Amino acid sequence: MKLSEQAIKVSNPGILQVRRYRANGVFAGDIIYHHEWEPEACTFEAFSGENIQLPTDQFQDLLVPVFEEGKLVYHSPDIHTIRRNTLYSVGLFSESVLAMASPAAYPTGLEPRLQDFKMQLIRAAKGE
């Protein structure tokens, strides 16, 4: 784990996954979690400092393996499929997040156990 005086530069420990949640047909927020720990709850402190509660019934994990044991396991779709998927995904963000002037912050943050683990490592490194 990389430490820094600037909190934003401190790395997150472990092999991570990103889970994107939906509510009412639009993306509601993303949570970063350790790939071996299924997120217990969808309440977290967003990077903006706000406490966020996400729905738990609709989500998708975003990161997919590209290599496993040194072998390529991912085959990229053709450019037309990538474009179609991107346009579809952008359409699932709320208008307030996509606004050109004063866009709303999109909720993102660390799963609470990952946040706690990170803080334990930081305290240990500082000798606390």
**pLDDT digits 0-9 by tens, 47-67:** 777 788 887 778 999 999 999
Q: What is the dihedral of CA 17, 64, 21, 46, to 10 degrees?
A: 30
- The answer to whether 98 touches 20, Cβ cutoff 8 Å, is no
Percent over 90 (pLDDT), the chain: 48
Helix (H, G, I), strand (E, B) or coil at 106: coil
Q: Please, which pLDDT band fits residue 41 given cuts at 50, 70 and 90?
A: low
Q: Please, which pLDDT band fits residue 24 given cuts at 50, 70 and 90?
A: confident
Spatial distance between the Cα atoms of 67 and 77, rounded to a whole number of angstroms: 16
Look at the pTM and tell me if it is higher than 0.75.
yes
